[in-house]
Structure 1
Amino acid sequence: MASTSKFVAAIDFGTTYSGWAFSFKHEYDKDPTKIVLKQWYGGSLLSMKTPTTVLIKPDAKTLDSFGYEAETRYSELASEDNNEHKRWYYFRRFKMMLHGKMGLDRSINLKDETQKPLPAKTVISLAIRYMKEDLVKNSNDRLSIEHICEDEITWVLTVPTIWTDAAKQFMREAAVEAGIKNENLMIALEPETASIFCRLLPVEKMVEGGGIASFTQGSVYMVLDAGGGTIDITVHEVLSGGKLKELHKASGGAWGGIQVDEAYKHFLISLFGNPVFHRFQVENKEEYLDMFREFETRKRYIAPDNDNKVTIRLPSSLTEIFEETSGANLRKAIMQTKYANEVSLTGDKLRINASVMKSLFSNAIQSTVSHVKELMNDKSVRSISNVLMVGGFSESKMLQHAIRSSFPNVKVIIPEEAGLVVLKGAVVFGHIQTSVSHRF
């Protein structure tokens, strides 16, 4: 049915990054793709999403900050000598802790950076409340005369398709606890919202493969939603009126972009040793944070056809801790590792062969390709000739190449800003309030 709301607000609560978006009904009627998203700032970084990071005060119930601000604030607290930061609650990338664990038990706890427990619902609801209030404030700032009445807002919260019904209900309860009225809240499945938005996009808004807007009734395509935590895969058939039918039960696994970050961390540990790297992580949180923010930028340019070495600036504290602990020269020590011919140190710059950086993607990519092959061979799904790649990890040239080369007879379709189409599609979903007519 058509939406009667004057305003639709969507929250994409991701594993690695989160964000919000909105549109007014009168703007949607003119151009459904005209959607407002917030720009988040993290040091020199500017993005349309912010890290899913929560900093809660020592009282265990008051949010101090969220996103980039929470990362920076906690690093500052940890740099002080009084260990004050250990009284605070710092959670990052915690959504994956819930994967496969949320059921009838509503008292599940999450453990923070220093292993202090808090109820998962408390952490999630504080994060959602922050984004809710931030969105409302920003939307009201755009109105010169009147403010939005919250009863006129349709809220949409995205969740992975592969989550259980109990987990989806858990997220609904957390959103209600965050101050969103249950009757105004819709839970949307991430691959579905991405599919809805991409059906609105013209061919020129696609990076590759044309578009899906022209798909006629009976067309079948796979949606590969590659996020930070999970790979979420569904198969859709286009029905009359543009509605969608799910042909195969949603599937996937924990093979998202986080696996690349973990592989990078283990690579560094292999160079410096676990005790050294752990001490660096604990004692120099600000430099540790900067190091991984730099990697986040670097890894976006790693591609199969790029054989240039990657240069990473090593924090001085990491080098100092290594030489103090081991009594060895770092440059000489690297020559004793299995990366002797692939990594070199010049000053404070670590020069890494492209082959090493590409190998960091192996586990995530191999798991994804293997699963897609299983689906392609499933007799319950008719021949699939198109794969729509969405989600932040789908922007990786490494993953794109792997899907194309593994399935040469399939057209791979990639929209611009693939990491934002789930969020934008959630706004569209809130306006049309319909998507998939049949689901497993």
Structure 2
Amino acid sequence: MKKSAFIILFLVLQCNSALLWAQTEPEEIKLDADQFQELFYESLLQKGIENYDKAITALDKANKIKPNDATVYFELGKNYLALKDYKNAYNFFESASKIDPKNKWFWIGMYDVSYETKNFTQGIATITKLIEFDPKYKEDLTSLYMGTNQYEKALALIQELNETIGKTDRRELYKSQILSEGKFQNIEITNLVALIAKNPQEEANYISLMFLYSKNNEEEKAFETVKKLEKAIPDSEWAQVSLFKNYLDTNDAPKAIKSMNVVLGSAKIDSKIKHRILNEFLIFTEKNPQYEADLEKAVGYFENDKLVDVAKEIGTFFQVKKQWSQAIKYYEKSLNSRTTDTVETNLLLLQAHTELKQFDRVSIKALEAIETFPTQPQFYFYAGLANNQLKQFKKAKDQLEMGMDYVVDNRELEINFNIQLGEAYNGLGDFKKKDLFFSKASQLLKEKKQ
């Protein structure tokens, strides 16, 4: 293949040189042509075995025989590029392009130098010329605009390419990077509104617009966009967001639940919108407890949510309202689905059982928590409290004394420990120690008030 290319180059060189040699003696012409070809072939041979200096020497001699030859300049450029002599490489590629500006390979050589030297501004000028040969170079231009922080130009070009040849992961990444800077979001919003008007059947544009509105906390505009989507594409999963709200507002619970389950089960819909829908259904369920089973099912969609412990949040919602049984149900769901960061959930669960005076459950749950978190004093406190209430005073005393060692800089907890220890010793009939611990608790309370 390479040999064929060499032959073609020699034929081109001979044709280009015919006029220049017209007035030279035939023997001299033959001698120069032979010598030029030998030197040129020698340069290709030396370049092939990576002797770039020798290749350049041969090309310099060939250039003296036949000055200003575009092919010789191009080969000089390639050899200097291999030697990382970027200045000479660029100059020779540029000289070749001035002689034959329609040869794209000369421009590619210039672009290669710009890329190697990370001279993005120079690269933009070159790639703009290459786009005239092949529009595919617009992809490279996008990257160059990003490299020179020309985000408006990059965004416009990304939008053009998305419309003409479709999206790519790289361009979507660039777009996200640009839109992370708020000042460009209005440009994109305007563009998306125009795209929706132009092609109302393209669901992706509605979704992108809703995402931007949601990111800017413009929830009303996000839901207005959902309504437009619903009208344009009624079977869209995103359209169910709007339908859910409408059904809920008209107290059509069965249809609202159906739409909610579609939304919560969708991989396309943003988690912020899912959480909002769940919160709205939670409030609805509080007033309509007959749909609690549907609420439990809805919470199940969030079991793998790494950012928000939805079951715990709902448990807290019920606990604030002193609906302890409901709170317990969701705390247990949370603990069953998570293995880390459960200290707070366990404490909330123990408090809810305590409020319901379910001290046998408090004792069991506290001991289970101690096995997992042996240095957390609050769990020892709940174990002691529960066993005091169950009249298991020896167990209460042992657990409270063990837990007291882990109480550090927590006056409130220290007071409670002393009160429960006083209760334990009272139950054991050791009134001297009972008075001692009640006295400590009283002193700590006084200090706290000061």
- Of structures 1 and 2, the larger Rg is shown by 2
Would you call these one fold, judging by a TM-score over 0.5?
no
Task: Decide which structure has greater helix share.
Answer: 2
For Structure 1 versus Structure 2, the TM-score category normalised by the shorter chain is under 0.3
Length-normalised TM-score, structure 1: 0.19
Task: Decide which structure has greater strand share.
Answer: 1
Length-normalised TM-score, structure 2: 0.18
